[in-house]
């Protein structure tokens, strides 16, 4: 739903380096069990972030690292996606969830739903069902809000979000407003998700309201206009939910790429990213084999 931030790119490079380092250790390992552990990746969280990470790791082993090792076959690496609820992509309709599940399965990703994570250790993940040895663990189950709520001394939800009213005002704190990931706003009885499009619309609304007479009765309440949710499963596989209209497969994947390029700032950045993506598409991203 938005172009990746620099922090997101840096985090992706960190995960990739850890994954490649685990494969290098597996190449030198003499114990079969240790080799299997190092070639197992666990992704925690079945939302769009977790699904995209699981698909990317599976594709890395299947295509990018093919033929790069002598003692191991990266295509045989195990990728496990853990989700605490009964299904992945809980905010998407059932037909798109079924498509995504099938697409991940074709990539070799093992999906485990209704699985609660108890602890993350250097050698794996402890779940309510038992311990999963792993060489790489990726957290994709969401983030915790900044500690701003503690500064205000108010109660929050378990993610640290501050309850706000329909004008983004913090309850019982006159003149204080919150938006984005730190704001807990119910719309039609459901909390708004922590998406870029939500924060962007809230920022535009709040900026406009502050320029006028914010807090006055004539200021309309904030209403989020959902412009569509998306998730990328892998090469040529993505989903879009526009409410009554759904897209999946290659067309959705191309639309996702176009939207991401369009949202970048400046023609130069758009052209550079387009050329980089085209090169990676043609070469199947062989350059990501470098450990940074």
Instruction: Tell me which residues are annotated as active site.
Output: 52
* Long-range contacts of the stretch 205-211 (C-beta < 8 A, 24+): 205/168, 206/168, 206/177, 206/179, 209/167
Q: Is 71 left (phi over 0), alpha (psi -120 to 50) or beta?
A: alpha
Neighbours of 207 (CB within 10 A): 11
SS3 9: helix
Could you give the strand order of the β-sheet that contains 109-112, starting from the edge strand earlier in sequence? 109-112, 78-82, 40-44, 136-139
- In this structure, which long-range contacts are made by residues 119-126, counting pairs with CB atoms below 8 Å and at least 24 apart in sequence? 120/44, 123/37, 124/37, 124/40, 124/42, 125/42, 125/44, 125/82
Exposure b/e, 136-161, CB count within 10 A at least 16 = b: bbbbbbeeebeebbeeeeeebeeebb
The partner residues of 40 in beta bridges, in order of sequence, read 78
Q: CA-to-CA distance for 23 and 29, rounded, in angstroms?
A: 10
Among 89, 82, 16, 11, smallest CA distance to 44 is for 82
């Amino acid at each position: 739903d938005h172009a990746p931030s620099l922090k997101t790119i840096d985090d992706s490079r960190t995960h990739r380096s850890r994954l490649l380092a685990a494969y290098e250790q597996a190449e030198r390992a003499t114990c079969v069990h240790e080799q299997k552990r190092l070639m197992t990746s666990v992704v925690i969280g079945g939302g769009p972030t977790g699904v995209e990470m699981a698909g990317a790791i599976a594709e890395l082993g299947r295509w990018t690292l093919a033929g790069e090792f002598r003692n191991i076959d990266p295509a045989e690496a195990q990728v496990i996606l853990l989700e605490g609820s009964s299904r992945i992509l809980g905010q998407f309709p059932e037909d798109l969830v079924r498509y995504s599940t099938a697409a991940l399965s074709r990539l070799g990703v093992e999906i485990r739903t209704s699985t609660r994570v108890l602890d993350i250790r250097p050698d794996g993940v402890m779940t309510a069902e038992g311990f999963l040895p792993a060489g790489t663990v990726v957290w994709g189950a969401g983030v915790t809000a900044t500690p701003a709520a503690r500064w205000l001394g108010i109660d929050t939800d378990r993610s640290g979000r501050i309850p706000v009213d329909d004008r983004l005002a913090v309850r019982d704190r006159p003149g204080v407003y919150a938006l984005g990931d730190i704001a807990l706003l119910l719309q039609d009885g459901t909390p708004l998700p922590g998406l870029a499009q939500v924060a962007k619309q809230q920022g535009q609304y709040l900026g406009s309201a502050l320029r006028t007479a914010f807090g006055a009765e004539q200021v309309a309440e904030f209403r989020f206009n959902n412009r569509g949710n998306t998730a990328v499963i892998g090469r040529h596989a993505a989903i879009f939910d526009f409410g009554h209209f759904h897209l999946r497969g290659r067309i959705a994947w191309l639309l996702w790429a176009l939207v991401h390029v369009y949202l970048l700032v400046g023609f130069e950045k758009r052209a550079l990213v387009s050329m980089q993506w085209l090169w990676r598409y043609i070469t199947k991203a062989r350059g990501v084999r470098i450990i940074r």
